[in-house]
Chains A and B, each alone.
Chain A
């Protein structure tokens, strides 16, 4: 194929208008240009606040993970249910996500950018004009939202995009729909396992079926709380998580032996806030989840008997354990316990109880099978088989080892009649950024450009237009 010829627009229906796609979540904000295959800018949603030189300072992005600044405290503008609580800060975080990587340092025409011959006196005025510009003045913006986002929040979002960022065109899409698009489906049952929430979104013809939408807080953070509960009850000794920034040096110890590390200490007045430590501990737990935690792949629950009559726990025990070394050098091999921390996503009785945990114990209705059952029961019977034949799994927490396999088994046992087909992207980034990729596809489609809410329409109809147009 001749590389100098552009692909015919009809071949893929694409027409890129350099739109920016902003996929907001509880844990991370993903931003990038539409038409690309992964977001260019992925930053944590939380931000750090600290006092320096008599002034309150804010820190965004990956910076806050690295440095334990004096008295820094971590906040998240988004509530546990995925709805924005602190609009001012949410705006700042989101703005940082695209200005830091995508829209800053705009490149102008090489004939005018001062690198070539240009009158010296014109330069400063031009620079000033650019500085006054709002960040998104020439990029349409596609944003994502959870399917249960209230109308007020949607209106507030378009307000920010139109008035603060001055985007020429805006659209607000449900992240479930976008995830379905990312796997090439217009009708799908999207199972999104996020950090704070798991959500089931039935999508029909590119539109959310509101009555079927279900969500519960048993996401990645819940798994973390289960891991903490497990660590408290650990058999040789309870494990305390010491994050990396508190470790000065460590020495190698045998498995199960108490750690031998020298710790860094901070004086009380300069020490970071407890929330900073919680964030850092979460990083360790994330690593633990990636390396050790497994989902019992099924069939049947971990507590039940397998197909050949042997209890599944016995089977799980027979698999070799997985070692993990904590930042302080403590290390241990985790056996069957590594299955238990995820099991309560499917089986509420398997939850590891922890009365001290701030996370409330799950209820039966919050487990994944129940959510799916309710979601399916709330949509029309005619499309149920279609939904079950197009189950899309997305969200970073669905990358837990063996998760999709287990989900498949659970669905099979819930709905033995219809054909169940789970499609989960094999590539890690496709799973993590599922809804962003869907947004990238959507915003670069030629047929989509009639859907944008333009600045003119916004000014005509007000913020309410988002309810009418982004259905």
Chain B
């Protein structure tokens, strides 16, 4: 309620005195159907969320109740597809069988008995709906004796067997799978004398044999009926197909099919793999072809032949750029101008320029280049663009002398890295050592030499010198570090030597040896042995010898060892770093 009041405050509405009891009461009044008022009152204000439904018989839809009931009756029927006139009974709508439906209004259920007699015969006259599905395969006419003797004689097939085959074909509607399955011809022994009977009895007719025989018979019968010249197109095609049936080829095909079916799991797997491979190869080829096409189209940059005077001004140049850009877009391929900055400074570009133009050049040089650019394009000289050879399809490339190269700042890279780099960045990177301390040291060294960390004019030569300088500063710094280290070690060793000598002096003074202390020390030295051996590489051999001698002061020794170790690692780290740097 507080929220509602707030909203009212905000909207400047008058405060509501009576919230909404009226509405609620209305809702309460409306009790669901199928529940008595008394029971509903018992439920109280907040009725549980249970759907109270009365199970009520719905009955027929009202619309249907108005319609008259149309009775069904068991009526006999005959099937046109049968020859024996079998009468079966099925349920039928009462008037569906009759041809002229009697007027509905006059019919009452009471009349039923009267009508039965009249309707009895009527459904029989109507043709059975399913009789039309009784279709038989269309087969050529059966041969006569004369025709058989003249055209169809065959050494392998007796007349009886041919008849048997034709019967089967008719019976099974040319379903060869079933015909071959049911083919069980037994030659009649009585009709044929003994010698002839044995040969066909042993023979197993394959489906191909049967098909070949049948097609031969059928084609011959077709030809007898209509000579090929008079055949309709469909018939001719049919005839040709049947004549061309080759049982041997069919048999070979089936053998292959069986082989294909009986592959082992490995073969199946291999085939699947090969198919996959093939798919991959073809798709690769596709992409290769498309890539190559793209490359070719990119290489076909139009060579300008017209007058270049109009490009002399910066206005003309930008116009040219616009047209080229548009052509570029319409071709829907990657911009020939390259991704880097070409669009940002259109004035300084010519169509033949690549993205690497003007890297690290002074503004004045850049300006000079811009001024020279139109001429460059036309005359193929004055080539002051770095990396230009990479993408310039110009006819003649002038060889520059070493002096000229130096003058124009032409460089030959063995390996061109992608992207744009600023020389100043590269120079800056040199001043960043791995550790912060080192960087600070470098910075202080540079400050001492009065060289700014950020070079004012990072030309090629300046950069090179700067690099050299940084390297030597690094070497110096390392040398200093090593010197410091050695110095400190010397100091420590001297101190320990002094200590030892002092101890020795004291021991000489005190005659009695302290056994328990000694053993303890020994144990401690044993412990440190591992550490010692680790440091042995770095530590001078003299140190190791010294340490063997020492006794007592275990704590200090271990500390010392720690120092040794650290120094060793620092040394190796430094050398690593310097190595890397040199490599770079």
* Interface residues of A, Cβ cutoff 8 Å to B: 2, 4, 6, 9-10, 13, 15-18, 111, 138, 140, 168-169, 204-205, 207, 209-212, 379-385, 413, 415-418, 445-447, 449-450, 452, 454-457, 460, 471
For chain B, residues 500 to 559, give those with C-beta under 8 angstroms from any C-beta of chain A.
none
B79 CB–A CB distance under 8 Å? yes
Q: Would A381 and B258 count as touching, CB distance under 8 A?
A: yes
Q: Would B93 and A6 count as touching, CB distance under 8 A?
A: yes
B257, closest chain A residue (CB): A381
In angstroms, how far is the closest chain A Cβ from the Cβ of B112?
9
Q: How far, in angstroms, from A204 to B207 measured CA to CA in the complex?
A: 15
In angstroms, how far is the closest chain A Cβ from the Cβ of B252?
12
Contact of A138 with B89 at beta-carbon distance under 8 Å, contacts A211-B181, A381-B254, A446-B129 already known: yes
Q: Would A384 and B261 count as touching, CB distance under 8 A?
A: yes
- Which residues on B sit within 8 Å (CB–CB) of A204? 175, 177-178, 181
In angstroms, how far is the closest chain A Cβ from the Cβ of B176?
8
In angstroms, how far is the closest chain B Cβ from the Cβ of A280?
43
Q: Would A449 and B263 count as touching, CB distance under 8 A?
A: no
Q: Would A417 and B261 count as touching, CB distance under 8 A?
A: yes
Question: Which of B86, B207, B254 counts the most chain A CB atoms within 10 A?
Answer: B86
Contact of A456 with B84 at beta-carbon distance under 8 Å, contacts A15-B90, A138-B89 already known: yes
Given contacts A209-B181, A380-B177, A450-B79, could you give 7 more A-B pairs where the C-beta distance is less than 8 Å?
Answer: A169-B86, A204-B177, A205-B175, A416-B263, A445-B130, A446-B130, A454-B86
Q: Would A450 and B261 count as touching, CB distance under 8 A?
A: no
A138, closest chain B residue (CB): B89
Q: Would B81 and A450 count as touching, CB distance under 8 A?
A: yes
In angstroms, how far is the closest chain A Cβ from the Cβ of B116?
10
- Which residues on B sit within 8 Å (CB–CB) of A413? 265
A-B pairs with lowest CB-CB distance, top 4: A446-B130, A450-B81, A454-B86, A416-B265
B330 CB–A CB distance under 8 Å? no
- Which residues on B sit within 8 Å (CB–CB) of A140? 88
22 example contacts (A-B, Cβ-Cβ < 8 A) are as follows A9-B130, A15-B129, A18-B89, A18-B90, A205-B178, A209-B177, A210-B182, A380-B177, A380-B254, A382-B254, A413-B265, A416-B267, A417-B260, A417-B263, A418-B261, A446-B133, A449-B82, A449-B128, A450-B130, A450-B134, A454-B84, A457-B84
Question: Residues 160-184 of chain B: 1 if any A CB is under 8 Å from the residue's CB, otherwise 0?
Answer: 0000000000011001111011100
B296 CB–A CB distance under 8 Å? no
- Which residues on B sit within 8 Å (CB–CB) of A415? 261-262
Q: Would A416 and B177 count as touching, CB distance under 8 A?
A: no
In angstroms, how far is the closest chain B Cβ from the Cβ of A141?
12
- Which residues on A sit within 8 Å (CB–CB) of B113? 111
Q: Would A385 and B261 count as touching, CB distance under 8 A?
A: yes
- Which residues on A sit within 8 Å (CB–CB) of B263? 416-417
Interface size class of B (residues with CB under 8 A): 35 or more
Q: Would A416 and B81 count as touching, CB distance under 8 A?
A: no
* Interface residues of B, Cβ cutoff 8 Å to A: 64, 67, 70, 79, 81-82, 84-91, 93, 113, 128-131, 133-134, 171-172, 175-178, 180-182, 207, 254, 257-258, 260-265, 267-268
Chain A interface mostly: loop
Contact of B207 among A380, A455, A471 (CB under 8 A): A380
Q: Would A380 and B261 count as touching, CB distance under 8 A?
A: no
Q: Would A456 and B89 count as touching, CB distance under 8 A?
A: no
B264, closest chain A residue (CB): A416
Q: How far, in angstroms, from A415 to B93 measured CA to CA in the complex?
A: 53
- Which residues on A sit within 8 Å (CB–CB) of B254? 380-382
- Which residues on A sit within 8 Å (CB–CB) of B171? 471
Contact of A13 with B177 at beta-carbon distance under 8 Å, contacts A168-B86, A382-B257, A456-B85 already known: no
Q: Would A16 and B181 count as touching, CB distance under 8 A?
A: no
A13, closest chain B residue (CB): B130
B70, closest chain A residue (CB): A4
Q: Would B129 and A9 count as touching, CB distance under 8 A?
A: yes
Q: Would A17 and B133 count as touching, CB distance under 8 A?
A: no
A376, closest chain B residue (CB): B261
Question: Which of A205, A379, A381, A415 counts the most chain B CB atoms within 10 A?
Answer: A381
- Which residues on B sit within 8 Å (CB–CB) of A2? 64
Q: Would B177 and A456 count as touching, CB distance under 8 A?
A: no
Contact of A447 with B265 at beta-carbon distance under 8 Å, contacts A17-B90, A18-B89 already known: no
Question: Which of A168, A210, A382 counts the most chain B CB atoms within 10 A?
Answer: A382
- Which residues on A sit within 8 Å (CB–CB) of B90? 15-18
Q: Would B177 and A447 count as touching, CB distance under 8 A?
A: no
Contact of A381 with B261 at beta-carbon distance under 8 Å, contacts A207-B178, A449-B130 already known: yes
B269, closest chain A residue (CB): A416
In angstroms, how far is the closest chain B Cβ from the Cβ of A9?
6
In angstroms, how far is the closest chain A Cβ from the Cβ of B163?
16
Q: How far, in angstroms, from A460 to B262 measured CA to CA in the complex?
A: 49
Q: Would B88 and A379 count as touching, CB distance under 8 A?
A: no
Q: Would B86 and A4 count as touching, CB distance under 8 A?
A: no
B113, closest chain A residue (CB): A111
Contact of A379 with B177 at beta-carbon distance under 8 Å, contacts A415-B261, A416-B265, A447-B133 already known: yes
Q: Would A17 and B89 count as touching, CB distance under 8 A?
A: yes
In angstroms, how far is the closest chain A Cβ from the Cβ of B140?
22
A15, closest chain B residue (CB): B90
Q: How far, in angstroms, from A209 to B265 measured CA to CA in the complex?
A: 28
- Which residues on A sit within 8 Å (CB–CB) of B258? 381
- Which residues on A sit within 8 Å (CB–CB) of B86? 168-169, 449, 452, 454-456
- Which residues on B sit within 8 Å (CB–CB) of A385? 261
A210, closest chain B residue (CB): B181
- Which residues on A sit within 8 Å (CB–CB) of B129? 9-10, 15, 446
In angstroms, how far is the closest chain A Cβ from the Cβ of B204?
11
Question: Which of A445, A450, A452, A457 counts the most chain B CB atoms within 10 A?
Answer: A450
Q: How far, in angstroms, from A457 to B82 measured CA to CA in the complex?
A: 11
Q: Would A450 and B178 count as touching, CB distance under 8 A?
A: no
Q: How far, in angstroms, from A454 to B113 measured CA to CA in the complex?
A: 30
- Which residues on A sit within 8 Å (CB–CB) of B64? 2, 4
B254, closest chain A residue (CB): A381
Q: Would B181 and A450 count as touching, CB distance under 8 A?
A: no
Q: How far, in angstroms, from A292 to B438 measured CA to CA in the complex?
A: 79
Q: Would B177 and A449 count as touching, CB distance under 8 A?
A: no
In angstroms, how far is the closest chain B Cβ from the Cβ of A365?
19
Q: How far, in angstroms, from A380 to B182 measured CA to CA in the complex?
A: 12
- Which residues on A sit within 8 Å (CB–CB) of B175? 204-205, 207
Q: How far, in angstroms, from A257 to B267 measured CA to CA in the complex?
A: 54
In angstroms, how far is the closest chain B Cβ from the Cβ of A468?
9
